């Protein structure tokens, strides 16, 4: 059992599950406590509790467990056990065939078969199998070791030996049939064993959430975008916990002498309990300007979803969507499910998707209509690729916004190296932004928001 | 403690807690290995209950440590009773004359003083908080560390030492070590990743919502006043709601509340109108209620009816 567990842990690790040495020792020490190892589900539950510490790894564990601890042991002989015994005893009567009979007897026992399969597997380096094309080769090698390959001298000389012993041809044929079907049974088991090994070596960890968060937005498939929704909510929830923790901590200010005195009157004026002032933490006001044109709309989607999932950390969040014309979408979120609202933003006919992006026009409109609402507490976040289709960038409008706002942050979903090439006017806007960040994947987006909170 | 896995199931059932064999296996293993169990899962699947039931079936009082952000050693481990210590020094001031009466020089006085018992830092003024309490008390103890994910990472690190050796050192007095290792259950709602070191020390148990049959049995056991038909319908309905994309899906405790309320209202079977009126008991967000209302006819039509169409 021990060796088998070590092997099991090995393949868990190969499948990308982190299992520490102490955990595998726990498994080895813990399993015997169950008493009855025949209770397969109890073994499964125990190993899962001892080895798997992230619920995301459970499917991998279950698959490997099924592979490793098959429900019933494999047997080579599916026929009548009496027929096999008779064959063996008649083989033993013939000079020089006792050895073959012994071998067959050992392999007929499921435990013996399995033990040999493992030992011979090690001898032929079955662990190194990594390709389906090798299955036939390794199966043959196993059969050779077990002495049941057709090329084996004992098998080849079988009929001659029996004839010498005075067997009638039809009896020889019957016995050969029994042995042949036994041999085929063993080959079947060996083949399964080899395939099982192959599968173990090739079980891959399913695409994890973190990987998806590292991938560029542009390379996501439809399905992945749907998965991504859950990851966004999850990350937002975690970020919110972290940030609100930090904020509560930062609230502790200097010593409040007056209240300390009062509190400690009960101790005769000895300052036993100290009271601190609470600092008021300013919540930033956020204005989102989201480009929702075809090229970057998914990022806008995540951005909006993210900002609204953590909106209670801000005193106010206002959102605008634009392609060429600016539309305020803040109210669309009121009393609505976030995803539903975003879905509407990305399909609404109030937004001019058919147009070409014109950032200059957008900033000019924003300056004309909303500049008065920008205060020293407002953080303006602009999401866009700054590809302005050769329109005038009108950076002056952005400069006016920056002058009034606390800060202007530009999140660009394009690779930094491509900024300023073609119709990208990123370089014109850069001087009027307090920060320009490349946000090509979810992790970068999360980081940007996290930094925003200081 | 528990001779077998089935025994765990039996004894938990006797204390009104139905658990799957998976849960029972982990509890059994933990009681043998004396390892803490880290229970993760959505809110309201009975993580905290598991600890309480374990304590009851072992026959001891549950020691509970509720974690929150800012929890520190003085709340979790021990604290000195400042006020009493202060009083003690006051008494000391009054009595010091008597104690030192008749001594000659300073040296003699100090010698006389050292023969007196040093009470200031002694167990007399030591206030045991949950962790120390578990250790000082004899016999098997059951400790529930609730919502460990709410505590700061520093506290988690501090807990590591406690969980591996089950000892606590008080610098002024010495080290307390548990005579018998306690059974520890940690729960987490997964609001943040716990450290690998902590996970490594624990058996991991993921509790999810139970299957329909199991939940029906739970409701039947806890709310016997709801008839069998109503029980089945409530569970089916709750399962239907869990499949929807809601802000907060209903948990077992909400299913129980609902069944209880419906039984109080003398409802024999669910229909559109009753569901509509009582949905607020199951769903806690306005948005969710609104969303679920649209689905009521579909969900209700799938319910088992009295006329035999049970499943």
Q: State whether residue A21 sits within 8 Å of chain B by CB.
A: no
Q: Are residues B201 and B289 in the same domain?
A: no
- Token pair, residue B217, equals 């049995």
B101 and B227 share one domain: no
- Domain of B28, CATH number, reads 3.40.50.300
d(CA A199, CA A191): 12
**B306 found inside a domain:** no
For A248, the closest of B37, B69, B200 (CB atoms) is B69
For residue A50, give the chain B residue with the closest CA. Answer: B203
B258 shares its domain with B218: yes
Task: Give the tens place of pLDDT for each residue, A71-93.
Answer: 556 677 777 778 788 888 888 88
Residues B70 and B96 in one domain: no
Based on the fold, state whether residues B86 and B185 are members of the same structural domain. no
Nearest CA in chain B to A20: B200
B22 touches chain A (CB under 8 A): yes
In angstroms, the CA B268 to CA A198 distance is 57
Least confident of A137-151, A398-412, B129-143: A137-151
For the ranges A157-166, A363-372, B296-305, the one whose mean pLDDT is highest: A363-372
Give pLDDT tens digits for A10-25: 888 887 788 889 899 9
Tokens of A395: 């950076």
Report how far apart, in Å, the C-alpha atoms of B135 and of each of B31, B158, B182 are.
17, 16, 8
Whether residue B229 is contained in a domain is answered as yes
Q: How many domains, in total, are found in chain B?
A: 3
Q: Is the pLDDT of residue A344 over 70?
A: yes
Which pLDDT belongs to residue B294? 87
B26 touches chain A (CB under 8 A): yes
- B239 with B135, same domain: the answer is no
Q: What is the pLDDT of residue B25?
A: 93
Which of B33, B191, B193 is closest, CB to CB, to A33? B33
- Judged by a CB distance cut-off of 8 A, whether residue A227 touches chain B is no
Q: How many angstroms separate the Cα of A257 from the Cα of each of A248, A264, A267, B43, B53?
A: 21, 11, 15, 42, 47
Contact between A397 and A427 (Cβ < 8 Å): no
Cβ distance of A46 and B26 shorter than 8 Å: yes
Cα(B271)–Cα(B250) distance, rounded to whole angstroms? 19
Using a CB–CB cutoff of 8 Å, tell me whether B297 touches chain A: no
Taking the C-alpha atoms of residue B306 and residue B311, their distance in angstroms, rounded to an integer, is 11
| Residue that terminates a domain, selected from B158, B189, B206 | B206
Closest-CA residue of A relative to B190 is: A238
Q: Is residue B66 domain-shared with residue B143, that is, in the same domain?
A: yes
Inter-chain residue contact B191 with A241, CB threshold 8 Å? yes
Q: Which of A100-104, A198-202, B115-119 has the highest mean pLDDT?
A: A100-104
Q: From chain A, pick out residues whose CB is under 8 angstroms from the CB of B202.
A: 53
Chain B contact present for A35, CB below 8 A? yes
Distance from CA of A241 to the nearest CA of B (A): 7
Q: Which residue of A has its CA nearest to B191?
A: A238
Q: Does residue B23 sit in the same domain as residue B61?
A: yes
pLDDT (mean) for B30-50? 90
C-alpha–C-alpha distance, residues B98 and B79, integer Å: 31
Q: In Å, how far is A23's CA from the nearest CA of chain B?
A: 7
Whether residue B167 is found in the same domain as residue B21:
yes
Within a domain: B310: no
* B308: in domain: no
Task: Tell me, yes or no, whether B72 and B87 share the same domain.
Answer: no
Domain termination site, one of B62, B91, B124? B124
Query: B83 to chain A: nearest residue by CA?
Result: A267
Do B53 and B153 belong together in one domain? yes
Contacts A266 to B, Cβ<8 Å:
83
In terms of domains, do B103 and B196 share one? Answer: no
Give me the domain span that covers residue B103.
Answer: 78-124
Q: Which of A30, A237, A241 sits opposite B33 (nearest CB)?
A: A30
Is B282 in the A-facing interface, judged by CB distances under 8 Å? no
Please give the mean pLDDT across all residues of chain A.
81
Q: Is residue B251 part of a domain?
A: yes
């Amino acid at each position: 059992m021990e060796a088998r567990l070590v092997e099991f842990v090995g393949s868990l690790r190969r499948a990308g599950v982190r299992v520490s040495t102490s955990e595998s020792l726990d498994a080895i020490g813990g399993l015997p406590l169950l008493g009855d190892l025949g209770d397969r589900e109890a073994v499964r539950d125990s190993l899962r509790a001892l080895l798997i510490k992230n619920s995301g790894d459970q499917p991998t564990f279950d698959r490997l467990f099924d592979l490793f601890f098959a429900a019933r042991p494999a047997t080579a002989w599916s026929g009548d056990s009496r027929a096999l015994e008779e064959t063996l005893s008649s083989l033993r009567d013939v000079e020089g065939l006792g050895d073959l009979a012994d071998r067959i007897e050992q392999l007929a026992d499921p435990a013996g078969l399995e033990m040999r399969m493992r030992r011979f597997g090690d001898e032929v380096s079955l662990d190194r199998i990594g390709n389906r094309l090798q299955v036939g080769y390794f199966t043959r090698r196993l059969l050779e070791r077990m002495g049941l390959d057709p090329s084996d001298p004992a098998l080849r000389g079988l009929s001659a030996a029996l004839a010498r012993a005075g067997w009638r041809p039809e009896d020889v044929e019957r016995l050969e049939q029994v042995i042949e079907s036994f041999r085929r049974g063993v080959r079947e088991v060996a083949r399964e064993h080899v395939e099982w090994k192959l599968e173990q070596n090739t079980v891959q960890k399913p695409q994890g959430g973190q990987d998806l968060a590292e991938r560029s937005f542009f390379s996501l498939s439809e399905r992945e975008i749907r998965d991504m929704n859950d990851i966004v909510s999850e990350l937002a929830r975690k970020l919110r916990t972290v940030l609100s923790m930090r904020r509560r901590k930062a609230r502790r200010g200097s010593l409040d002498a007056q209240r300390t005195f009062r509190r400690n009157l009960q101790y005769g004026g000895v300052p036993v309990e100290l009271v601190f002032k609470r600092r008021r933490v300013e919540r930033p006001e956020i204005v989102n300007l989201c480009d929702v044109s075809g090229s970057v709309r998914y990022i806008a989607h995540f951005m909006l979803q993210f900002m609204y999932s953590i909106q209670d950390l801000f005193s106010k969040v206002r959102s605008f969507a634009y392609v060429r014309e600016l539309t305020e979408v803040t109210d669309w979120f009121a009393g609505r499910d976030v995803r539903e609202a975003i879905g509407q933003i990305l399909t609404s006919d109030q937004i001019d998707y058919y147009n070409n992006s014109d950032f200059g026009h957008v900033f000019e409109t924003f300056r004309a209509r909303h500049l008065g609402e920008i205060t020293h507490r407002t953080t303006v976040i602009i999401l866009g690729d700054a590809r302005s289709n050769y329109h005038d960038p009108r950076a002056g409008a952005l400069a006016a916004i920056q002058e009034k706002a606390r800060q202007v942050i530009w999140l660009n979903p394009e690779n930094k190296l491509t900024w300023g090439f073609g119709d990208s006017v990123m370089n014109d806007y850069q001087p009027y932004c307090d920060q320009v960040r490349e946000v090509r994947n979810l992790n970068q987006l999360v980081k940007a928001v996290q930094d925003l909170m200081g | 403690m528990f001779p077998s896995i089935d025994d765990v199931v039996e004894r938990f059932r006797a204390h009104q807690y139905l658990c799957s064999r998976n849960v029972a296996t982990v509890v059994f293993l933990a009681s043998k290995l004396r390892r803490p169990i880290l229970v993760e899962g959505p809110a309201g699947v009975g993580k905290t209950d598991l600890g309480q039931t374990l304590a009851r079936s072992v026959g001891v009082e549950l020691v509970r440590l509720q974690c929150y952000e800012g929890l520190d050693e003085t709340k979790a481990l021990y604290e000195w009773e400042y006020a009493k210590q202060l009083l003690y020094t006051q008494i000391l001031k009054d009595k010091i004359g008597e104690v030192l009466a008749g001594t000659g020089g300073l040296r003699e006085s100090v010698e006389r003083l050292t023969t007196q018992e040093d009470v200031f830092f002694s167990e007399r003024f030591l206030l045991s908080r949950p962790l120390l309490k578990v250790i000082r008390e004899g016999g098997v103890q059951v400790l529930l560390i609730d919502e460990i994910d709410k505590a700061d990472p520093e506290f988690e690190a501090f807990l590591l030492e406690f969980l591996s050796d089950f000892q606590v050192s008080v610098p002024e007095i010495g080290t307390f070590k548990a005579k018998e290792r306690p059974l520890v259950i940690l729960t987490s709602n997964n609001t943040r990743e716990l450290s690998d070191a902590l996970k490594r020390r624990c058996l991991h148990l993921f509790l999810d919502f139970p299957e329909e049959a199991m939940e029906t049995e739970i409701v039947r056991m806890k709310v016997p006043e709801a008839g069998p038909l109503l029980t089945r319908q409530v569970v089916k309905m709750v399962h239907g709601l869990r499949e929807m994309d809601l802000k907060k899906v209903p948990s077992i405790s909400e299913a129980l509340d609902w069944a209880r309320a419906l039984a109080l209202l003398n409802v024999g079977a669910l229909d559109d109108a009753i569901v509509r009126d009582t949905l607020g008991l199951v769903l806690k967000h306005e948005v969710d209620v609104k969303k679920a209302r649209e689905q009521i006819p579909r969900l209700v039509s799938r319910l088992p009816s009295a006329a035999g169409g049970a499943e």
